[in-house]
Amino acid sequence: MEKHTLGFDTLQVHAGQHPDSETRSRCVPIYQTAAYSFRDAADASALFALEKTGNIYSRLTNPTNDVLEQRMAALDGGVGALAMASGHAAIFNTILNLAGAGDEIVSSICIYGGAVNLLGVTLGRLGIRTQFVDPDDLQAWEDAVTEKTRAFFVEVVGNPNANLADLAKIAEIAHRHGVPLIVDSTVTTPYLIRPFAHGADIAVYSATKFLGGHGTSVGGIVVDSGNFSFLDNPRFPLYNQPDPSYHGAVFARDFGNAAFILRLRTCLLRDGGACLSPFNAFLILQGVETLSLRMRQHSANALAVAAFLEKQPEVKAVHYPGLASSPYYALAQKYLPKGAGAVFTCELAGGREAAVRFIDALRLFSIVANVGDVRSLVIHPGTTTHGQLSDTQLAQSGIAPGTVRFSIGIEDPEDLLDDLKQALAKSAL
């Protein structure tokens, strides 16, 4: 008999966890421990040599974190996942697991401003050069590839203007050149899109956002599809040469399609130490259990708000792929049939001054440098989240002086619209 495949709503509640064998706790316990006792000396030796799996130290593994990791791998359809201290830690360590000094990354320019700094400045200081391209320009991706390229990086829905990447076409270019496609799916989550179904190889998330959903915990997740082959790929000698820190193990040869995620844990997390606390993993799991319910409401509310704003005289433009007027509408029907998410922007006709008056007049929306809360959030990206970008980079990212970013929550939509109406009226004064 063919095994029944569990649905998303079931996996988000059950994947990766069984009642605790000792206490029979039905909910995931918080294993607030730094280390674990070994059965004997031979057991300890085998764990350290990667001859068996198990818990050594919470910098590497933790039972609470393990449930979160298994659940995310199941939701995305990957071979494994790794929880990290933040979304930035997830991106940073993913890149370091693929590239070193002298190597290059090709990235969309339409990404979170902090990620532009991470890739363009901090990695640059480590000798890893990032070439930024317009994500819509497929030829630009092609032209940016050199013999030093080690990965492509793109956000499914760009921050802040909600441009939607054509993942399948970008993945095709990446794979033709023998490099993996890293996709940041923070604002879409596995509920709205499973990136691996469209050619992505690695998915990264700021779990701080919609996965947790409540704005209480900072965390990051990396999920490995297991589809990218590192074996005998000349671009990745680290995976095909003996690793001196593990008695000469060759990751691509010895660990198969789990080579990337295992090396990320055993080398990068081991040495960098950006582990997620089990308490934060526990809190994020509470959010994952209701992910589909919240994402449906987030998306429905966002569409209602975007459609309202599009009709207002104070608004010059609305950038939301769920609108029929969006240049990304056709892609949204292809990639995001369940909803286009909750993060988008509008541009006020009155420029920066009108944007500031509008933001300050809002009552229900919170001015917060975050997205993905159950509460509706707003911010002026040009002077905050993307304020470190140059004028040229802001223009390339599509951020104007009057741009306002929204993260729409799960409140009653009529209450949100009422708040927006009164704030728009005051923005024009």
Domains of the chain: 17-287 (3.40.640.10), 291-427 (3.90.1150.10)
Place of tokens 């994947």: 15
In the predicted model, what is the mean pLDDT of residues 348-358? 92
Would you say 219 and 209 are in contact if contact means Cβ atoms under 8 Å apart?
A: no
In the predicted model, what is the mean pLDDT of residues 348-354? 91
If one compares 152 and 386, the residue with the highest pLDDT of the two is 152
| pTM recorded for the entire structure | 0.94
Would you say 161 and 345 are in contact if contact means Cβ atoms under 8 Å apart?
A: yes
Q: 3-state DSSP call for residue 220? A: strand
- The token pair at 410 is 């799960």
Q: Tens digit of pLDDT for each residue in 372-398?
A: 999 999 999 888 877 677 778 877 778
pLDDT for res 1: 40
Q: Is the pLDDT of residue 3 over 70?
A: no
| 172, 175, 177, 178: CA torsion to nearest 10 | 180
Pairing of strands 403-407, 343-348: antiparallel
Q: Tens digit of pLDDT for each residue in 417-426?
A: 999 999 999 9
In the predicted model, what is the mean pLDDT of residues 31-47? 91
DSSP state of 249: B
The HSE-up count of residue 49 (CA atoms within 13 Å, CB side) is 9
Place of tokens 């999920």: 223
Would you say 346 and 319 are in contact if contact means Cβ atoms under 8 Å apart?
A: yes
Q: Tens digit of pLDDT for each residue in 215-274?
A: 999 999 999 999 999 999 999 999 999 999 888 999 999 999 999 999 999 999 999 999
What is the side-by-side strand order in the sheet with 343-348?
A: 315-319, 343-348, 403-407, 377-379, 366-367
Percent of the chain with pLDDT strictly greater than 70: 99
- The token pair at 150 is 């080690």
pLDDT for res 252: 97
Q: Tens digit of pLDDT for each residue in 312-338?
A: 999 999 999 999 999 999 999 999 999
